[in-house]
Every structure is written in structure tokens, then in C-alpha cells.
Chains A and B, each alone.
Chain A
Amino acid sequence: MFFSRSLFVLVLSLALIIIGINSQSGWLFWLAALLLSALGISWLLSLQQVRGLGIKRRHRPRVSEEEELEITLEVTSRGRFSRYLLEVIDTDPRDGDSQKKARLKAKRKSLREQLDMVRGIVKEEVAQQGERGKTPFLIPHLGAGGDASLTYRRGGLSRGIYEGWPALFYSEGILGLARHSSRVECSSRLVVYPWYAELSSFPLVDSFLHPQRLPHDHLTKGVGTDYYGVREFRPGDPLRHVHWKTTARKGELVVREFEREVGTPLTVLIDNHYGHLSDKDVSQALDSSARLAASIVHYAFYAGHPVRLISSRDREPVVFRVPTFQAALEWLAGLRPEEGPDREERFRGLYRELEGESFLCFILADTGRGYGGITAALPPMCQVALILVDVDSFNGNGTTAMARPAGEASGPGKQPFPGFHSVSFYGKGDDIRECLERPTITFNGSQPLGR
């Protein structure tokens, strides 16, 4: 409501009153009153500016992390008075629950930064569109009952499903002596898919590929050639599959059905138990886990393997059979961290969902509390690839708690159990493609392949 300029006007007014009292100068009281009046009017004006406003946000409903999202804000005024110098601040989707008030303050620049700007090395850094965080826009005038629209691009989006993050209105009135802001909930749904790498190989999947390795440019393994039976016609069925004889006999369209080629199923188990860590660390580490999972799913799904994603939600295991890659991305976008101290107990719950014959890719968060117990409790599998995400590398100072084996890989005697295929380590800034294509340790029978 009031800030440094308001305080200055207030102090100046009080000083004038005190001098007026001391010197019996009547006009000083009136000048102080004029200043206080300007302050009060400015307060009321800024309050009026941010009331009775509506906003709609239009954008594509789905977008990938690496894409820029074009957002259009449509502001409508419901009041009876015009508004001047109104700031519309579109918050970051991740700040949806933040109750922070809007503040518009220039970033304090160091002398060196200022000099660099003078020399033209760095351009004047205004709140550029696409910058992460709040993006303020100025509406010079909004008539009574009028509307305005602003279109900008926002980049740097993070994986997630965002259900209507708020927009803020901010005003310092015409005179700039007081300020007010209001928060308007804006119902718009945005799904940000995790980024994924298009892998050229993934050793775990490659190890169980069908001998006739399929080229990766096939979208699916397609429909097989072995006749399975007939069924009713469904929209989309090719006409060449219509079984005309049966159709004529039954009086309705009947098509032939062929067996599908089915690959070896792959289960991707994603650890989202970060209970004791801060929000920021969790968010970035889980985003990385989702990207790793998306990259694996992309490779395996288009290689023709049925893929299951397992994680937990609300302390219960959730299994998602991937029907399409886009559905997998959407599922991964909605992956949220879980709270609670009983991490190992929850993993036991997740393990119950594993199918014994399945291949397992386990994306495990290394939170610095050890993971031996978690991996030891894994049920017997054909092959397990463990991908360890170093959560500590995502904290502020970038330190890492995870000891990565450098150069020499572990010997065959150290293989925890026969099905343990490989171990990959992923930390902040690492290349996902390299992490997945070249695991840090690959247990190949008695011959581990080190990096």
C-alpha cells in the first residue's frame, strides 16, 4: 500500500507541520495538508485501478519444456472509471500458489553492470518476454468497460500440469505515491511435457531386443500378418480389412483382425520420494527424472515394447500402461514429489506392482541418505538398469554427495544381483543422451563395461 515514496511524502508533511507549529506559519499546515491529500488521493486511485478487473489467458494447452509458449492476456475493466498506467503481471505458472504481492522494482545494478550497459556490452535489461518469473506489461489507458489484450512469449517453462496460475494487477496510481496490487485467478490449463532426448541406443532395451532389430523410424511395430479373427467395424479401420462375406451374412460391417507384434515389456520405475528436501531441489531433480524417463519411454515405445510407468501418488503406487507416447509425456508432466519419511516402505509398495518377467529401468533419486536398502529389496528381475539422480547437485551451491566411479568400473564380484544390468549417474548439467546411451557401469555377465 505505502512504500518509500509514500513514506517520504508523509515525513515531509510531518516536517512541514512541525515547522509550522514552531514558526506559526499557517501556510505550512496547508502545504502539508496538500501533500497528505495528494498521498491519500494517490492511495485511493491506485486502489481503484486494481479493482473490478478481469483477465483471460489464452494459449496452447500443451507445450514442451523447450518450446516457447505464446500467451495472450485479455484484460477487461468492469468499473465505471478509466484506468491509467495499469501494470499487468503474468506470474510464472510455478508460482500458482504463491501469495506474494506484486512489486515492481528495478533490479539493482552494480557499477560494473551499469558501465557495461553504457558501453553497449549489455543491452538494457528490462523484463523481457520469455524470462522466467513475473512478466510485467504496461497498459497506459483502459477505458471504463473497455478491454485490452497483450500477447507475449514465455520460455523456460518447466514440466508440470498447471491449473490456472494467477495474474497480478499492480498500480501506483497516476501520481506514483502509493501502490496497490490485486491477484486475479485465471483459469487456464497448461500441460508442459518434459523434454526428452531421442536416444540412438539404450543398452538395457537393446539387450532384450528382438533379433530382427527394427529400424527406429517406424512409429509402431504395426499390425502383424497373422490372422486373429473378425470383429465389428470401427471408424478408422481400413476398408481393405473388411471381411465382406461375414459382412454380408451379418448385415453389418465386419473387419478382419490381425495379431500385433508385441515386444518385451519394460517398466520404468520413477522415484518421487523427496520428503525432507527443499522444494527447489525436489522440483529440479524430479524434472530431470521425468526427462530421463521420457527419453527411455520414447526409445522403448517406438522400438515396439510395451512400456509401463510406475510411481506413487498420494502414498499409493500408480501404474500407467503407456498407450501413446504423448499420453506418457502427459503422465510424466503430472508427476509430483511425494512427502513423508517412510521412503523404503513405499518402495516395497511399488515393488509389488512389478511383474517378475519385466525389464526394469529404475530412476532413483540419490538424496544422500543411501539407497542400498532400496535396491537390495528389488524383486528378482531379468534385467535392471539403475539410473541414479544426484539430488544434491541441484541444490544452491551445486555440491554433490554422490560418489561416481571414475574411470575404472566395478568388478564383476560387485554386481549386487544377477539381473543388475547397468548403473548410470545423472547430475545437474549432465547430458541425458550420454547418460543413458553410455551407462557409467554396465554389468555384462562377469565383464562389466566401464565408461
Chain B
Amino acid sequence: MPGKAHDYFQRLTAPREIEESRPFRAAVWASVCVSLIALGLQEVTSASLIITCLVLVSLGFYFSWRRSHKRNISIKLVIAMFTLVALASFLRQIYRQPYDPRLPLAELFLWVQVLHSFDLPRRKDLVLSLVSSVILLSLAGSFALSASFAWVALLYLAAALPALYFAQISRLRSLSAVPERSRTTHPSRRRMLVVFLLLIVIISAVGMAIGAAIPRVSASYMSTLPFSLRRAFSPSQGFEFSNPGYPDLPSKPPDDALEVNPEAYFGFSPFLDLRARGTLVDKPVMRVCSSEPAYWRGIAFQEYNGYSWLVADEEPQALYAREQPFMVEHPQEEACLWNHRIVQTYYIVGDEASVIFAAQSPSVLYYPSDYIYQDSSGLKSPFPLSDGLVYSVVSNNITPGEEFADVDMEAFGDFLLPYLEVPELPPRVLGLAEEIIPWGETPYRRAEAIKDYLESHYDYSLDVPPLPAGEDALDFFLFEQGSGYCEHFATAYALLCRLAGIPARVVTGYATGEYNPFTDLYEVSLADAHAWVEIYLQGVGWVTCEPTPSFSLPDPGRGSGSLWILGDFIEWAGKQLSSILPSSLRSAVSAAFGAIASGADSLFSSLAYSFRHAAWLPLLFLFILLLFPLLYLTSRRSRRKPAAGVDDGEAVSAMRDFLGSLNSLGIARQPSQTAGEFIGELGMLVPGIRLSSELRLFEAARYGGRPLRREQADRLRAGFDGALEEIDRAKREGKTRGA
């Protein structure tokens, strides 16, 4: 190698700025390990890979510490080579599975972290490692579906905060001079432990406050939504409905009431048996990430036979998609002005029926299959939904509101006829319908009147007597039972709507579930299984209605649909707190938190409303909020500015100069003498010396705390100078007394 190039190479590879702090290395190592564990806990990659990475990272940290003072050229070359291999692997995976780049990205970061750990000689390398561990943790966070990730985040904080502290010590030491002598103390380990614990608590608490206040802007979402890896399925002979909770489910309602399995909802089947009685356990079934809360619709039923609802008797059509997504069409539905888009991703937790859940009217579906089925009851999966399945849906949703009250058009069209059909009903049911339906009103008003009647005359209850044989379920609910659960209310509402000339159908699915403000997911449990009604309004389309008392359609402005989740967060915190409190306190705590949450919601809603209608109002509010810190800063700055006057330093300095000059003339002040005494003595020593006004100025500045103005300071100095000249002259002329 030529001399110059060799010299350059030597310089380039020379180890420099080596980090010697072992605690810093250990803390960074711990942070990296926690981030790897976080990734492993989210099951992003296999456990064996994570364990391998943990071992390699630990080895790498030890190795780079041992060899930190060496050039390590061969190691650097090997690292570069393996990094290229990892990059090639990443690109290959992206090419093979372009839908969700997070998994290959996670693996790439994982390997880069492992390789980087073998070359960490300097502080900046370690800091880079710390930063990349934050990125790994964030990647794990993007996969996290439960609030338990909080523990991992806390563990990471516990490792990263000391790392930052040790980095800071190391940096400051390198930048500071070493005093010749010093009397300083070092904090004890116990003290630092307490400080770090306090910091973790404070940072977490403030972080929660900030997280709750960060506006969740709904911006453009990713073009490809997440879904599980594609499963290869060849088209079967046709759709066969399956529900793992009801393995021997007949295609038609049996003669006797269906025996309810408490671990599966009986409504996810080709029929909805209104004779079934029983309660469901509260086990998680899925988590839904949605741009706003909604009901997760499963199956729509068309025909009522007196004791159960049946899906339309039709063969589901297979929908094929070689490339994702599936584009779902609803040819008979007309375009609606009130439609708005809801993007949802479903993370299935338990085994479910072969029903593809989606908010109201799905239009785009990312589903891990080459084909799905579609009929008038909804979308069907070619296989039962199982734990770990992920799919995404973009739906068009219509939120019912008062604006539909003015739509004064009766529904027409052949495709609606099945939804207007009613079987032969007992006369008292027809009489009741005649009584409660306001015939002169618009369809929406008629439906509202029926809903109001049901809500005001019937109670929601899961404890209802069995339906006697031969009885009509609707008649029994309206006139005998007096209370019922969602299927009964939905049946009554749908049939009464049909009697009022409004096309209606009963729908089963899941209610919204509990919103988790940490994961931004709706945690849906089996107990959220629900039945509701869709009515058809001409010019609008199918509109979701909730006739069951104690249930209400989700507010699109709450939960994931709101700009701020502070209210939901407070509500969630209240629920968590009340769950650990004695039962006597629970309701009070829940109510208190609920009130605070409503207050927060109202505040943010008002803000949002004023943004829309009077933009100047929140701006004024913001201005007033900012005004206080601005005023504080301005006042602080003005305090910092030197005053127009001169402080006592000038007076002291003038006096010191005067005394120094006198000293040089042989007139010294005794240490015990005050300024006043000395000047008095000076007046006796040199006749004609008058320094009383200067003395007053000096004493006012020195002891009175009254700073001198510039002209006063000048006058003081001039007075002293004049006195000095006079003393000097007097001394030369020998006119001093006694001196």
C-alpha cells in the first residue's frame, strides 16, 4: 500500500474516543436485551431466534468491550458482510410478501442490532445502540395488542434511564477539568436507585398524561392493511357453514330449542333460535382496531318463522382475489351521501364461526385466503376463524341521525320484498302495531316510534322463561314475557317495522367491546355477542338500529373515533381502579371517573365544535394560554437585564480606589474604622475637605440597597478625585494637621 494511503487507512481504523464506562455498557446491553424480549413477547419472530439474538448480543457486548482498544478490521469486515446478507434477506422477504413490511423490518433491525453489538468501542456507538433499541421497542409496540406491553415499556425505562445517566456522566467527565483540590460528594447507589425509581414513576405518569392528550388525528392510512400470511386453499365443493361451538349444527332450526353452549354464540349459524336460553361466558374473542367504534356485524337474517330467524335460502357466491384485497360489491344498494369509511383490522383471539365480521357494509377486504363467500347475509370465510388470524376491512357505514327523519320516501324494489314479509301473526300483535305506528310520519319517524315504545314498555333481562311450545316468540315477548334479551327486542322491532312498511332484518354480531386506550383496540369478548336490526330507508340504504334498552349505538366521536382519548382514558382508568377496590366503593369510583371523563369529552367536543364553527375562539384560548408563559419569560428577561442604575459595586469600587490612593499618600484607614469615621478623621487631618455628600451616596448604595444612577456614580468619583487632589496639594504644601 502506498505510504499516504497506508497512513490514511491507519488513521481511519485507529481506535479512538474509547468508552471506558462499564456501567454504561451494561445499561445499554440491558436496554437492548429488553427491546429484544419485547419483540419476542409480541411473537413477531420465533422464540428460538430471539433467544439466539439475546445470546449473540450478550457475546457481542462482551467482545466489543474486550477488544475496544484494538483495530478490529476483520470484525468490521465480517459485520459489513453479514449486514449485506441481512439486507438481502430483508429485500427478498419484502418481495415475497409485500403486504406488511413490519415483519421483515423487525428481522432486519434484529440482525443489525446483533451485528452492531460486536463493534461498540465508542460512546457514540453505544448511544446508537440505545437509539436502535428504542426503534426495536417501537416496532414491538406496533405489534402489541394488549395493555401488558406497559410492563415491558417500564422495564425498558428501568434499563434506559441508567444508560442515559451513565452516558451523561461519561460525557461530562470527558469535558470537565480536574480541580487541584475538591470537596464534592458522589451520590450513593441507594440514592441513585431511589432517584431512578422516582424518575420511572414520574416519567410514566407524565407520559400517560401526554399520551392521553395527544390528538389522534385520522390521517391517511397505509395503502395495504395488515392481515395474516396468506393461506393456500383450493376451492371446495361449496360453502359449508361451521361454528366450532356448535359442531353438529343443523342447517334448519331443530324442533326443540337449541341447547346453548356458554362458550359460543348461537347466533352465528344459518338460523337464530329465539327459544334458546342461557348466558355466555366473558372470554375474549377478538381485538378490533378501528378508525371509529361500530358494531361488528356477522350474519343478517331475512325470514321469521314464528320461533326463529333464517338466513336467505341462497347459495353463497365465491369471490376470488389473486392479489389482495377483495373488492366487495353490493349491487342492489344505492350510493348514499351519508356513507363514511371505517377502517378495521380484526385480531382473532379464539375459535370462531366461519363468518367474516365487518362494520356494516364492507367494500374492501384483506383476508388470508384466495377466495371468500358472499351472500345477502354477509361475508363468509371458507374456514372457521381461528386464534391468530388477522384481517382488515374497509366498510361504508351510515350512522343514523335526525337528518333521516325528513326522508319521506317509501322503500320500493324487488330485492326488498323478502324484508317486508311477515308470517301470520296473532291478531293482538297486529292490533298493537296499528296502535303504536304513526302512519302519517316518515319511515324513520315510524321506526323511532316503535323503538320508543319497546324501550318504554319492556325491560332488558337475560333471565326469561322458556318459550312454550307452539307459541309465537314475538307474541310471547310482547304480551307474556314483558322482558327479554337483544334477540327478542330485535325480533319485535324488525317485525313491527315490517308491519309499518319499513324493510328490516335482524343482524347478529358483536357489540363494540371495551376500548383500550393503550392499544387503541376494542377488546371484544363473547359476552359482547349481540343482535340488532337494520332497516332500509329509500335514498339512504341499510341503517343500523338498536332497539334493545341499555344498549346504544356507539358514538363515532368516542374511543378511536375521537380526536382526543382523554375521556376514554379516564373512564378506562376508573374501571381498572374500581376493579381492585371493594365492591362498596366501585360504583362511586366508576361514577366519579365517568363524570370526569364526560367533562373531558365535553371540553374537547366543545373545542372541536368551536374549531369547526368559530375558529377564532380556540385560537383566542390558545393565545391566552400562551400569554402567561410569554409574560413570565418577558418579565424574567427584564429582570435579567442590568438596571439602568449602577449597583453598589460602583460605589464600593470608587471608595476602594479612593482608599488605595490615600494609602499611597500615606493615609491609611484602620480596619476598625467605618467609612464615616474615616472621612470624619480625614476632614480633621486636611482642613477644608468636605466629603459628606459623597459619604451619603456611598452609604446609601452600600448599605441602603439604593443603586447609584450614572450621574451619582460620576459625582461620587469626581468628589473623591477632587478630595485626593486637595489632600495631595495640602501634603505638598505641608498643610496637613498632625500627619
| A residues with CB within 8 A of B | 8, 12, 16-38, 40-41, 70, 82, 84-85, 87, 104-106, 111-112, 114-115, 117-118, 124, 126-129, 131, 135-143, 146, 148-153, 163-164, 172-177, 187, 189, 232, 234, 321, 323-324, 327, 330
Contacts and interface: CB of A to CB of B under 8 A. Distances in A.
Contacts of A129: 177-180
A82 B180 contact: no
A114 B14 contact: yes
A137 B187 contact: no
A22 B203 CA distance: 26
B164 A23 contact: no
Contacts, number: 225
A16 B517 CA distance: 16
A152 B179 contact: yes
Contacts of A323: 664-666
Contact of B11 (A24, A112, A140): A112
Contacts of A176: 164, 167-168, 171
A353 B11 CA distance: 65
A140 B214 contact: no
A141 B186 contact: yes
Interface string B270-309: 0000000000000000000101000000000000000000
Contacts of A127: 175-177
Nearest to A164: B649
B314 to A, nearest CB: 35
A33 B214 contact: yes
Contacts of B211: 29-30, 32-34
A183 B210 CA distance: 32
Given A87-B172, A176-B168, A24 B182 contact: no
B174 A84 contact: no
Interface stretch (B133-141, B321-329, B613-621, B623-631): B133-141
Contacts of A85: 165, 168-169, 172
19 contacts: A21-B216, A21-B217, A24-B560, A27-B141, A31-B137, A31-B153, A33-B208, A34-B203, A114-B17, A118-B14, A118-B16, A126-B175, A137-B179, A141-B185, A151-B182, A174-B199, A175-B199, A189-B653, A323-B664
B519 interface: yes
A302 B200 CA distance: 71
Contact of B174 (A106, A137, A174): A106
A255 B55 CA distance: 97
A32 B16 contact: no
A149 B12 CA distance: 42
A105 B203 CA distance: 27
Contact of A24 (B165, B202, B207, B343): B343
B114 interface: no
B184 A126 contact: no
A62 B172 CA distance: 32
B149 A27 contact: yes
A-side interface mostly: mixed
A164 B131 CA distance: 44
A19 to B, nearest CB: 7
B221 interface: yes
Interface string B179-218: 1111111110001000100010011101111110010111
B674 interface: no
A26 B516 contact: yes
Given A140-B185, A175-B164, A34 B179 contact: no
Contacts of B175: 104-106, 126-127, 136
B517 A115 contact: no
Nearest to B17: A114
A419 B433 CA distance: 134
Contacts of A150: 179, 181-184
B142 A27 contact: yes
Nearest to B187: A141
Nearest to A84: B187
A148 B345 contact: no
Contacts of B174: 106, 124, 126
Contacts of A82: 187, 191
Nearest to B167: A176
Given A41-B199, A138-B172, A163-B653, A26 B664 contact: no
Nearest to B206: A37
B53 interface: no
Contacts of A126: 174-178
Given A16-B138, A17-B214, A19-B142, 19 more contacts: A20-B520, A23-B142, A24-B345, A27-B142, A30-B141, A30-B150, A31-B138, A32-B214, A85-B172, A106-B174, A111-B12, A112-B11, A129-B178, A137-B176, A138-B172, A148-B182, A150-B183, A176-B164, A189-B653
B262 interface: no
A140 B169 contact: yes
A23 to B, nearest CB: 6
A150 B183 CA distance: 6
Contact of A149 (B183, B191, B214): B183
B142 A28 contact: yes
Contacts of B204: 34, 37
Contact of A135 (B177, B289, B560): B177
Contact of A324 (B17, B144, B178, B664): B664
